[in-house]
Amino acid sequence: MVSIIEQCQVAPPTCAIDKLTLPLTCFDTLWILHNHHIPRILFYKLQNIDKISFIQNIIPTLKHSLSLTLKHYLPLAGNLVCPWNSTGYPELRYVTGDSVSVTFSETDMDFDYLVSYDHIHNAKDFHPFVPKMAEPKDASGVQFTPVLAIQVTLFPNHGISISCISHHVVGDESTIVGFINSWALLNKNKGNDDHDDKFIVPFYDRSVVKDPYGLGDCIWEETKKHKKEMMSDIIVTPPDNNNNNNNNNNNNNMVRGTFTIRRDHIEKLKNLILLTRPSLTHVTSYTVVGGYAWSCLVKSENATEIIDENVMECFGCAVNYRARFDPPLPSSYFGNCIIWYIASRKHVDLVGNEGFRVATESIGEIIYKRNKDKEYVSNGEWLKEVGGASNEGRYLAIAGSPKYDLYEADFGWGKSQKWHFVFFGSGLLMSLGKSKDSNGDLEIGLYLPKTRMNAFATIFSDGLSVL
């Protein structure tokens, strides 16, 4: 059970500028149509924290540091502005008076259970700690949609969780993790605004993102055509327990699992690939871990139902394209700059004894091929491939990256005990990130029906045990 202590709005300080407007690029605009929110939750262990201390000390400090952080991240306090009934173009807009919805709450749920790596967790156990995004508001055919909400929950004498839910149109993993880490740094430093090198000051110049084929305009026109069917999904909240997902499994049956793959296992997987595929040009931790998890996931479905062996399985490699622009974009660029490379193979190729090798080879080859093809990005072919893979219905999407480490988000309470995405949607989503305890280890997060998760866990651990 979760009870609300305080619900408030946190705005940037009055010294912030009066208005900031950012036009959307093609990388941003696609998220209006494919509306997407993936909440993140961070759990911190504080054994001596009670409700009085939480209210008197934690809440005021978090509000103050958040306000100071928003001074640099103004679009997060603003709105997505969509002029549906005019010739205008959507934008992110902050004006004085805009703010972020923040909820402070308390729960009697078991903190140690929620942060445990030894349990497969019921997916709905995490829903009470995710904030609800405020509803859009309409004014003369122009829609204003908030892009960020935050919830902080006290587990008395155990810890605190911090959850952020953001509209994907405002920024990708690089942007949102930069914001959270910067907020944590200011909170740890008691609001001291004299930044060190760890504070990420966003880069806002959208003119550096070239769109020679006018993809942004095309995406916006397509978005307006599909407005009605899209708007029903604009608000993301925990799903009704009676809804079904794409696999016809009740959401009550969905569970979340976290799996750690150690650095020595990663090295053994690399060696196994290089031994049998010495000419493969792109063998990295990402490709071998992605290939191993993908093959285990496909095999786990075979353990629970009969699948057409000729159906195509697709793996979406999320790529941060900032450094690949000419000239490169700054790593602190605020917004979206993610594209996908799609690896695909027949189901039968991934479930056999060579499944891991086939999966890793497919991922490595598509990354190597697409990295050399800048025209593929400029002309929008990648969007067509992603759309085709998504429509097939057998598409594994990857969230997160080992390059962005939220375990480093220290609000003054040390590293988080655990952090992960919360997934409310349908389809398959796998998260990939750094491990909390060991440099070089990686964590995989999955949401699956319980029977399939059990099958995956067995296949995953058995395969690593024989390396």
Note the pLDDT tens digit of each residue in 317-328: 989 999 988 889
Q: Could you read off the pLDDT of 132-178 as tens digits, one per residue?
A: 998 999 988 899 999 999 999 999 999 999 999 999 999 999 999 99
Name the region of 78 (left: φ>0; alpha: ψ -120 to 50; beta: rest): beta
State the average pLDDT over residues 431-451.
91
Rounded-to-integer distance, Cα 33 and Cα 55, Å: 40
Rounded-to-integer distance, Cα 47 and Cα 364, Å: 45
CA atoms within 13 A on the CB side of 63: 18
Sign of CA pseudo-dihedral 423, 425, 426, 430: negative
User: Catalytic residue at 410?
Assistant: yes
Options 64, 119, 195, 410, the catalytic residue: 410
What percent of the chain has pLDDT above 70?
92
Strand partners, 261: 442
What percent of the chain has pLDDT above 90?
70
Options 158, 167, 168, 420, the catalytic residue: 168
Proportion of the chain in helix, strand, coil states, percent, rounded to 5: 40, 25, 35
State the average pLDDT over residues 191-206.
79
Rounded-to-integer distance, Cα 69 and Cα 61, Å: 12
Confidence at residue 35, expressed as pLDDT on a 0 to 100 scale: 62
Task: Provide the pLDDT confidence category of residue 400 given band limits of 50, 70 and 90.
Answer: confident
Q: In this model, does residue 16 exceed pLDDT 90?
A: no
Q: Could you read off the pLDDT of 275-305 as tens digits, one per residue?
A: 888 888 789 999 999 999 999 999 999 888 8
Pick the closest to residue 331 from 319, 321, 341 (CA basis): 321
Do 423 and 123 meet the contact criterion of CB atoms below 8 Å apart?
yes
Do 78 and 98 meet the contact criterion of CB atoms below 8 Å apart?
yes
- The first and second tokens of residue 286, run together, are 């990402």
pTM of the shown model: 0.92
Confidence at residue 280, expressed as pLDDT on a 0 to 100 scale: 80
